[in-house]
């Protein structure tokens, strides 16, 4: 979460105790939804790291994902120049909209959504290891073994690239990407962190 954010800087009085919050996907920067927070919802969001709103229809606090398990994990939060609107960057567990769409504007990106889900599974294997899980076994063996596997998969991909078997090439590419995501997770990073660097290079 953003260390520069001061919850006391938010002016809740302008709109009778509620402020709008724009929620943005941390990895893709796509706008996911608009919600409202009161001070209690903000405090709960900061304390738990899961985005919680104040539901105007239910007249109570509402944690996104409390019924669907599609939680929004807080990455950063900022207040605008007028101190009455929040920008929340979050890591979604799945579709944000109750309709099943990625956003509340019916936008979908199934490829990105699957990679996000895969990263969540990898993170769970890291934090809640299952002895029967291949991914968990790699984490258990340490960073050197994970890095070695990435190197092995990269070599296998290069070998297949010299032939014309599309199926073998794409499968090796998938193996490399999978192990690369594991390596990123082991180092405490996500694919979105790498994408940001690429985007920064592209703008230069």
Each residue's pLDDT tens digit, 169-179: 999 999 999 99
Which pLDDT value is given to residue 26?
85
Q: Does residue 204 carry a pLDDT above 70?
A: no
In the chain, ranges of CATH 3.10.20.810 domains: 7-92
110-203 CATH: 1.10.287.1080
> pLDDT tens for residues 1-60?
444 789 999 999 988 899 999 999 887 788 999 999 999 999 999 999 999 999 999 999
Decide which of 103 and 183 is more confident: 183
CATH superfamily of the 7-92 domain: Phosphoribosyl-AMP cyclohydrolase (3.10.20.810)
pTM for this one?
0.60
Helices (H) and strands (E) in the chain, counts: 6, 6
pLDDT in the model for residue 199: 76
Instruction: Strands of 56-173 (E only): list them.
Output: 60-63, 72-79, 86-92
Q: Where are the beta strands (DSSP E) in the chain?
A: 19-25, 31-37, 52-55, 60-63, 72-79, 86-92
Stretch(es) of the chain classified as CATH 1.10.287.1080 = 110-203
- Over the stretch 122-176, which tens digit does the pLDDT of each residue have? 999 999 999 899 999 999 999 999 999 999 999 999 999 999 999 999 999 999 9
Instruction: List CB contacts of 117: < 8 A, sequence separation 6 or more.
Output: 93, 94
pLDDT in tens, 82-124: 999 999 999 998 889 888 888 899 876 666 767 877 888 899 9
Burial of 165 (0-12, 13-18, 19+ CB in 10 A): exposed
Angle, CA of 164, 115 and 188, to the nearest 5°:
110
Residues in the chain: 204
Three-state secondary structure call for residue 17: coil
d(CA 3, CA 76): 8
Find the helix packing angle between 166-186 and 134-141, rounded to 10°: 50
Predicted pLDDT of residue 203: 65
* Rounded Cα distance, 171 and 175, in Å: 6
**pLDDT at residue number 109:** 64
Six-digit token pair at 9?
């800087």
């Amino acid at each position: 979460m953003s260390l520069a954010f001061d919850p006391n800087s938010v002016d809740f009085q302008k709109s009778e105790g509620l402020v709008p919050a724009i929620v943005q996907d941390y990895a893709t920067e796509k706008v996911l939804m608009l919600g409202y927070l009161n001070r209690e919802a903000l405090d709960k969001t900061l304390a738990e790291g899961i985005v919680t709103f104040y539901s105007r229809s239910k007249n109570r606090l509402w944690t996104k994902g409390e019924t669907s398990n599609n939680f929004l994990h807080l990455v950063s939060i900022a207040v605008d120049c007028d101190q009455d609107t929040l920008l929340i960057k979050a890591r979604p567990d799945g579709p944000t909209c109750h309709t099943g769409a990625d956003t509340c504007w019916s936008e979908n990106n199934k490829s990105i959504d699957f990679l996000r889900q895969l990263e969540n599974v990898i993170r769970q294997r890291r934090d809640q290891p299952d002895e029967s899980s291949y991914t968990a076994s790699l984490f258990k063996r340490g960073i050197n073994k994970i890095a070695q596997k990435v190197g092995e998969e990269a070599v296998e991909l290069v070998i297949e690239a010299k032939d014309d078997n599309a199926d073998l090439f794409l499968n090796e590419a998938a193996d490399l990407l999978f192990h690369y995501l594991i390596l990123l997770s082991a180092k405490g990073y996500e694919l979105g962190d790498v994408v940001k660097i690429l985007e920064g290079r592209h703008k230069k």
